[in-house]
């Protein structure tokens, strides 16, 4: 998130309009006999969006601007998102099994790749930005044993709203309200000064949902790894300051996943290996 650059690119048409032209990631309207074609306002409630119709729509309440007092909870479905299945995945990652349809995860990877296509990391090789979201998803799935598509999709999409022209409405339409809610909780408000954004990340860490805490934890693990292995042109002092700040954020995330927390600690312990790369 902090170790990349690039343009957001021109504003893109709403996904509803894209869907009408047969492109993009949005679902097409129903083709049932007698079903009358409806306009853009109605289109967003067709297809996959209808699956979340019963979910309270709180995306606006989960935007970064709402955080100064406390973070709003994730929307809940009829069974509640904090289910025994999720707890098993978070607490006993090595025993987790993939029991979900992960087609949405592949769509999220393709969506993120398209939205970040003009962006590059700040490492010496100027590697594609999409490498970072992919690293998050890989860390969550293969190190953390996380099989929840909501978490994996949010990891892949976590920088799309913050660093591209993508909106939370587009994320909700294409991937559902729960994914959009997680993305909202890990998105910084770029209208604020950088120092204030960093302060708010520390403050909000202990108040965001378990899903968002997993994504945030993976983000910090991957950023520390990059500072060690493929660093931007930063001084050693600046890198150490990032390590110290990341540890303050992670302090508020603890208790969500022991294995990932141990990985963060192991990477952070290598702080003395940092060197100037300017």
Among residues 148, 163, 219, 226, which one is catalytic? Answer: 163
Chain centre to alpha carbon of residue 80 = 21
Q: Which of 162, 169, 203, 261 is catalytic?
A: 162
> Closest Cα to residue 28, out of 49, 13, 12?
49
**Spatial distance between the Cα atoms of 26 and 37, rounded to a whole number of angstroms:** 16
CA distance 61 to 185: 10
Alpha carbon distance 248, 81 (integer Å): 27
Crossing angle for the helix pair 103-115 and 131-138, to the nearest 10 degrees: 150
163 catalytically annotated: yes
Q: List, in sequence order, every residue forming a beta bridge with 120; answer none if it has no partner.
A: 5, 128
Q: Which residues contact 202 (CB under 8 A, 6 or more apart)?
A: 245, 248, 249, 251, 252
Residue 203 bears catalytic tag: no
Phi, psi of 209 (to 5 degrees): -70, 160
CB neighbours (10 Å) of residue 36? Answer: 7
Partners of 119 in the β-ladder: 6
Q: Strand locations in the chain, DSSP E?
A: 4-6, 119-121
CA dist 229 and 3 (Å) reads 13
DSSP per position, 179-236: HHHHHHHT---TTS-HHHHHHHHHHHTTTS-HHHHHHHHHHHHHHHHHHHHS--S--H
Geometric angle at alpha carbon 129, from 126 and 134, rounded to 5° = 130
Please identify every residue annotated as catalytic: 162-163
């Amino acid at each position: 998130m902090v170790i990349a650059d690039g343009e957001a690119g021109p504003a893109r048409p709403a996904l509803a309009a894209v869907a009408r032209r047969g492109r993009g990631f949005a679902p097409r309207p129903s083709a049932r006999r007698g079903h009358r074609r409806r306009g853009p306002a109605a289109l967003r409630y067709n297809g996959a969006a209808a699956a979340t119709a019963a979910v309270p729509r709180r995306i606006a309440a989960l935007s970064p601007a709402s955080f100064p007092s406390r973070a709003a909870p994730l929307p809940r479905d009829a069974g509640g998102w904090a289910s025994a299945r999720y707890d098993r995945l978070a607490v006993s990652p090595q025993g987790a099994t993939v029991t979900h349809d992960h087609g949405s995860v592949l769509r999220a990877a393709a969506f993120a790749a398209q939205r970040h296509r003009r962006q590059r990391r700040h490492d010496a090789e100027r590697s594609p930005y999409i490498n970072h979201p992919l690293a998050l998803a890989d860390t969550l799935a293969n190190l953390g044993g996380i099989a929840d598509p909501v978490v994996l999709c949010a990891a892949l999409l976590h920088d799309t709203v913050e660093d591209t022209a993508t909106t939370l409405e587009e994320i909700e339409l294409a991937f559902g309200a729960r994914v959009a809610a997680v993305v909202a909780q890990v998105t910084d408000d770029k209208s604020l000064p950088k120092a204030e954004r960093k302060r708010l990340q520390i403050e909000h860490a202990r108040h965001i949902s378990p899903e968002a805490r997993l994504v945030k934890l993976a983000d910090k693990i991957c950023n520390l790894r990059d500072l060690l292995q493929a660093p931007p042109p930063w001084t050693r002092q600046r890198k150490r300051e990032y390590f110290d700040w990341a540890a303050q954020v992670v302090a508020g995330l603890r208790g969500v996943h022991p294995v990932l927390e141990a990985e963060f600690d192991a990477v952070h312990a290598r702080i003395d290996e940092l060197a100037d790369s300017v």
